[in-house]
Amino acid sequence: MSIKAVLALILLTGCGYQVGVAPPVTFQIGSIPGDHDRSFQSELIAAIAASSGFQYMPFGADIEINMTVDRLKTEHHDYRYQTEDGSGAVIDRLSPIGAKHQAVVTCQVLRRSSGQPLLTAQPFRQELNFDFVDFRSYQDLAFNEFSGQQATTLQYSLGQLGAEDDAAKSALRPLFKKVAEKVASYLLINREKL
């Protein structure tokens, strides 16, 4: 190799030019029905953009990723007996204290310029368990401190324990994050088709 060729190679690599590296595939994500706060969309953007070889562009991208939420349901899976206020005596009545989100979403990847499908529609399934306090149970809402005084659980939980509705809403973000990671892996595996 001549000295000029070596110098040209050093200059090109020093300036950031890379020989033989494919440019990133630019992508945009269509609006997702039911994703009102766009938390699912933002998790998808973050996960896919973190994969090497992909770059997010809100407009004018190479490919468009369309997601549909086919199923999103929540069911209880953990229960506890309720307790009486003050005495803490067990009541012969069960209340839910744990639940599970189950999601099925479908990913469709299209060439943005022509609308042609690039990959077959792919379903993804994900589950996520979460806990919550039972507002009907004294045992869940209060305890005795070392000093003997009563304190509420919510004072000490720093938002980690909440009522069922709050806990269910908070658990959606990590559920969507897990689905987004699966979608990002799927796209990375099939990158040469895009």
Domains within the chain, CATH numbers bracketed: 3-193 (3.30.160.150)
24 with 193: CB under 8 angstroms? no
Which range, of 18-22, 33-37, 62-66, 189-193, averages the lowest pLDDT?
A: 18-22
Per-residue confidence (pLDDT) for residue 1, from 0 to 100: 58
Residue 16: pLDDT over 60: no
Residue 123: pLDDT over 90: yes
Mean pLDDT rounded to a whole number for the chain: 83
How far apart, in whole angstroms, are the C-alpha atoms of residue 96 and residue 167?
13
- How many Cβ atoms sit within 10 Å of the Cβ of residue 128? 19
Query: What is the average pLDDT across 90-94?
Result: 83
Q: What residues contact 120, with CB distance under 8 A and at least 6 apart?
A: none
Nearest to 124 by CA among 79, 168, 72: 72
Residue 12: pLDDT over 60: no
Q: What residues contact 77, with CB distance under 8 A and at least 6 apart?
A: 98, 99, 100, 129
Q: What is the pLDDT of residues 133-157, one digit of tens each?
A: 766 554 555 556 677 776 555 554 4
Per-residue confidence (pLDDT) for residue 144, from 0 to 100: 62
The CA distances from residue 152 to 47, 86, 135, 136, 144, in Å, are: 38, 13, 11, 13, 9
Q: What is the distance between the terminal CA atoms of the chain, rounded to a whole angstrom?
A: 36
